[in-house]
Chains A and B, each alone.
Chain A
């Protein structure tokens, strides 16, 4: 079944893939921010007021999902001001540059890379120099360095762990790294199966096995 199913993969750039389920889930993640103008009758929708019809005063703190933040963010019309989430800030970037392998990206993410790439869309007009240095530094140093320094571990784990319980290895990986891990494991497993001669045997597809169909002999008896 897996060969005949072509899911839309995550975009991992400035633009997400419209039909990618991973990207849709990723864009649900919340961003800290604050309202730069009063938003009438929207307090309830943004999870703050007590009854429908309350308006949101200027300057109130907000937690906005990424998709909404992208829609509302505009460098000219000041509707909302967005902050960087703390894992993309200076302090955490220092941690990543020290040793990216110790960070539990699944707890931080689980879409650390995708979400971080999307954040590059909001270069802030108030403080362009800060935004630019943050984004620049964060893009070229942090995000990529993180990926690069974690690459070896993902590779070694996925290529060496044959017939082992991999749940402990995978627990700290970001979704992107998990997909990569699965690709590595598949290569290894396919090769091992072939080497042992399992590949030449025809087996029932996993779809049929999961059906729980009774065997013909069981029906007879």
Chain B
């Protein structure tokens, strides 16, 4: 899976926009949207929000978590804990990139937010490498990674599964049953 595909899934998330046009309720396959009234906030998927924004037909309201203080708190929490902490959105990286690229004029302190999210991302990836290393070192066969997001899994996923695949084969090289080690999952 490529990052663009993860982004595609992220575009289904809902954001609030303030349109400057009026339109009746529209019936789409994935659900009904609207009605749209000028000046009244309405929830739409990110893909539509970005499209409307590019056509200058709406103003975007940033998600609640996209705020400097909240993100600082999340970053500090992430640095303190050994395991992964829950993220404000399962697509925090994708949403930050999309919203900041297309609607940075609607988001206060866009640059600071960008830095904070990037910091959090770097912390989490360093943590992921550290835990992957100890996972391999102790020759574990399963792990639980509850709060990792799709994008994070995606960047190291292929590498990690391939490495574990090799390790499994090297462990089971001697006939099964003969070596006690290969059987004790």
Contacts and interface: CB of A to CB of B under 8 A. Distances in A.
A173 to B, nearest CB: 13
B141 interface: no
Interface in A23-71: none
Contacts of B163: 151, 154-155, 180
B173 A120 contact: yes
Interface residues of A, number: 37
A12 B181 contact: no
Given A113-B166, A176-B166, A136 B179 contact: yes
A169 interface: no
Interface stretch (A82-90, A188-196, A210-218): A188-196
A148 B97 contact: no
A190 B2 CA distance: 7
A206 interface: no
B173 A155 contact: no
B174 A179 contact: no
Given A180-B162, A183-B162, A113 B155 contact: no
A117 B3 contact: no
Interface string A125-162: 00000000001100110011001100110111011000
Interface of B: 2-4, 7, 97, 101, 125, 129, 132-133, 136-137, 139, 151, 154-159, 162-163, 166-167, 169-175, 179, 181
Given A154-B163, A190-B2, 16 more contacts: A14-B173, A120-B174, A140-B174, A143-B173, A152-B136, A155-B132, A159-B129, A180-B159, A184-B159, A187-B155, A187-B158, A190-B155, A194-B4, A195-B3, A197-B101, A199-B4
Interface of A: 12-14, 113, 117, 120, 135-136, 139-140, 143-144, 147-148, 151-152, 154-156, 158-159, 176, 179-180, 183-184, 186-188, 190-191, 193-195, 197, 199-200
